[in-house]
Amino acid sequence: QLLAFDDGSSASSAQIKLGLKYEVKEKRFTVFVMQLSNYSALSLPANQNIYVRVVVLPCSETVRCLFRTHCALPQEPVELKEAFSLQVSSTALRQKTLRIDVCTTSKSGREHCLAGAQISLADEEYSEEWCTKWYNLLNCTYMPEMDGKQKETE
């Protein structure tokens, strides 16, 4: 199944730069939320602050797996420079997925996620050194069918 693809019309993505590190001796996994670029692809309302939500999943109810950066006004690039750590064995880490979302808070105080990246930690070899990469952020408007579980009304 080979289909033609229209390059010219392809939209560009907002991107996030993350550093990931696993310290074996301390069993400590750290996510460093560094920078956001091309935020205009997020279709953000004017003068709306944004922040990044970091979740390491699955996690048990007794454990914190959810972190949020401070709020930042959108500018190019958005510097965040905030790190979050949790203790986890390397075996458990390989079962986990890191979910990174750029969010805003609506006037009613509700969290509203604009776009996100999802990083499987199954097959990665993180060393004591930072592994730094840019990740494309998938706009939530592209995920209309993702929420089948909640829309299912049978």
Answer for which of 25, 46, 108, 125 binds its own copies (CB under 8 A) is 108
CB 129, min distance to its own copies, A: 16
Hey, what are 119's tokens?
Answer: 């990083």
User: Interface with its own copies includes 142 (CB under 8 A)?
Assistant: yes
Helix (H, G, I), strand (E, B) or coil at 42: helix
| Class of residue 141 by CB neighbours under 10 A (exposed 0-12, middle 13-18, buried 19+) | exposed
Alpha-carbon radius of gyration of the chain: 17
Taking CB under 8 A as the rule, does residue 129 contact its own copies?
no
Q: Does 13 bind its own copies (CB under 8 A)?
A: yes
4 binds its own copies (CB under 8 A): yes
Site mask for its own copies (CB under 8 A), range 37-76, x = bound: --------------------xxxx-xxxx-x---------
CA distance 126 to 153: 42
